[in-house]
Chains A and B, each alone.
Chain A
């Protein structure tokens, strides 16, 4: 009996103390080739070009004292340089002319090849930043099925859809792991997976996260990827992204998908550093380098890749 409690204690100690905390994660990042430093994120916005011309919006926002700088790697993204008003509380924001959206979070949607007229699944859509971006890129043509498991977050999503005048989305409260039950095939599937997040966008991240959380999330992400592949048309594209820096949720999951699902990683023309192909001594498929990893600064931590069906 005593020895049982000892084992439980050692197990908990191992997971909650040794496999968590700032030092544990920072030393992992160093092993992966990135030296930790505190990061200050830059606020970014994205113009909804279906609703206004960029030049008009730039001059309207500058009149309000909201000065912008174009983000070089995004088609419609701007850094907020200095502002006497809150970017999330202007008439222009409330009229859906732009969205407040972190810079790296704007990348997944731009990786799809021509979205116009396509049938798209947004597999974990709430609160809807990327659903609105998808609709804008599609110019409200085609259709988006946006799903999420969380009803409260879906309400936030529908507020965004209404604010930005999105007309081509259908929203369901479903677990993405049940998405094949929709009985539909999609040209594009966005798996912006629920993840452990990162320290740059959550000041309490190191205090709150353990490797166990990371592994739990990684499992759900693999299940979501598997179901996304089932819903994909033969020449369809999956974009997978997380805002986690942990390789279990990123490169290791993609390596798993390459071996277990009928998928391959597609080349993308995208900023960021190549996906890591050696994780703590484990050698991964070389094509994982086609993924992109974003160590924080000036964006949050992020990971993204595009998957297509394997060509035989």
Chain B
């Protein structure tokens, strides 16, 4: 069940993750992937362990950035590439205009989710495709709406 939540999330990006259910643990609605080294150190009252995959809140799954990076490592992941300036605006919580998309990879369909990569191939977060990304589309429309970006770490620091 735990694995299914995470695997289903990855499928939205066209990626089939295989996770060993034996190494998945959960506390407080948060999912973690262990490795064999740390498995024996994890007791009932743990606060965090291994690789944080995401959390379920009000029946909705919120991925961690580590999970997004795991998905991003797969060749087949649906993704768009943006330059430094557009990447920075995305990190600040902004949506991405069609003209800001340098390249696309995988199957990009309206309403589907895409990872957002910077020019170094690092995952900055993900968004939802709002408009067609094909050549002839209007360049001044919002193409990808921001869903989650790494600027979240700064927002979390501020809220602590």
In order of increasing CB-CB distance, the 3 nearest A-B pairs are A171-B48, A94-B150, A171-B47
Contact B160 A170 (CB under 8 A): no
Tell whether B1 is near chain A: CB-to-CB under 8 Å.
no
Interface residues of A in 87-136 (CB under 8 A from B): 88-89, 91, 94-95
Q: How many residues of B contact A (CB 8 A)?
A: 33
Q: Which residues of A contact B31 (CB under 8 A)?
A: none
Q: What is the distance, in angstroms, from A173's C-beta to the closest C-beta of chain B? A: 5
Tell whether B151 is near chain A: CB-to-CB under 8 Å.
yes
Please pick, from A141, A157, A159, A170, the residue contacting B41 in the complex, using a CB distance under 8 A: A170
Instruction: Knowing A172-B46, A173-B47 are in contact, say whether A95-B122 is a contact too (CB < 8 A).
Output: yes
Please pick, from A94, A142, A162, the residue contacting B37 in the complex, using a CB distance under 8 A: A142
Tell whether B49 is near chain A: CB-to-CB under 8 Å.
yes
Contact B50 A168 (CB under 8 A): yes
Selecting from A6-14, A148-156, A219-227, A235-243, the interface stretch reads A148-156
Q: Which residues of A contact B156 (CB under 8 A)?
A: 159
Contact B124 A91 (CB under 8 A): yes
CA distance A155 to B52 in the complex (A): 13
Instruction: Knowing A91-B91, A91-B150, A152-B160 are in contact, say whether A171-B65 is a contact too (CB < 8 A).
Output: no
CA distance A161 to B46 in the complex (A): 15
Contact A165 B48 (CB under 8 A): no
Please pick, from A142, A161, A172, the residue contacting B45 in the complex, using a CB distance under 8 A: A172
CA distance A91 to B46 in the complex (A): 30
Contact A162 B52 (CB under 8 A): yes
Please pick, from A156, A165, A169, A182, the residue contacting B66 in the complex, using a CB distance under 8 A: A165
Q: Which residues of B contact A (CB under 8 A)?
A: 35, 37-38, 41-43, 45-52, 64-66, 69, 84, 87-88, 91, 118, 120, 122, 124, 150-151, 153-154, 156-157, 160
Q: Which residues of B contact A155 (CB under 8 A)?
A: 160
CA distance A184 to B48 in the complex (A): 18
Instruction: Knowing A156-B157, A162-B52 are in contact, say whether A95-B150 is a contact too (CB < 8 A).
Output: yes
Contact B41 A143 (CB under 8 A): yes
Q: Which residues of B contact A163 (CB under 8 A)?
A: 65, 150, 153
Chain A CB count within 10 A is highest, among B46, B48, B154, for: B48
Contact B41 A165 (CB under 8 A): no
Contact A171 B49 (CB under 8 A): yes
Name 14 interchain pairs, CB-CB below 8 A, sorted by A.
A60-B120, A88-B154, A91-B118, A94-B151, A94-B153, A142-B37, A143-B41, A156-B160, A157-B48, A159-B156, A161-B52, A167-B35, A168-B35, A173-B45
Instruction: Knowing A91-B87, A143-B38, A161-B52 are in contact, say whether A171-B153 is a contact too (CB < 8 A).
Output: no
Please pick, from B42, B48, B87, B122, the residue contacting A158 in the complex, using a CB distance under 8 A: B48
CA distance A162 to B88 in the complex (A): 20
Q: Which residues of A contact B160 (CB under 8 A)?
A: 152, 155-156
Tell whether A145 is near chain B: CB-to-CB under 8 Å.
yes
Contact A169 B69 (CB under 8 A): no
Q: What is the distance, in angstroms, from B123's C-beta to the closest C-beta of chain A? A: 8
Q: What is the distance, in angstroms, from A174's C-beta to the closest C-beta of chain B? A: 8
Q: Which residues of A contact B66 (CB under 8 A)?
A: 162, 165, 167
CA distance A170 to B52 in the complex (A): 11
Q: Which residues of B contact A162 (CB under 8 A)?
A: 52, 64-66, 153
Closest residue on chain B to residue A158 by CB atoms: B48
Q: Which residues of A contact B50 (CB under 8 A)?
A: 167-170
Q: Which residues of B contact A182 (CB under 8 A)?
A: 43
Closest residue on chain A to residue B70 by CB atoms: A165
Q: Which residues of A contact B64 (CB under 8 A)?
A: 162
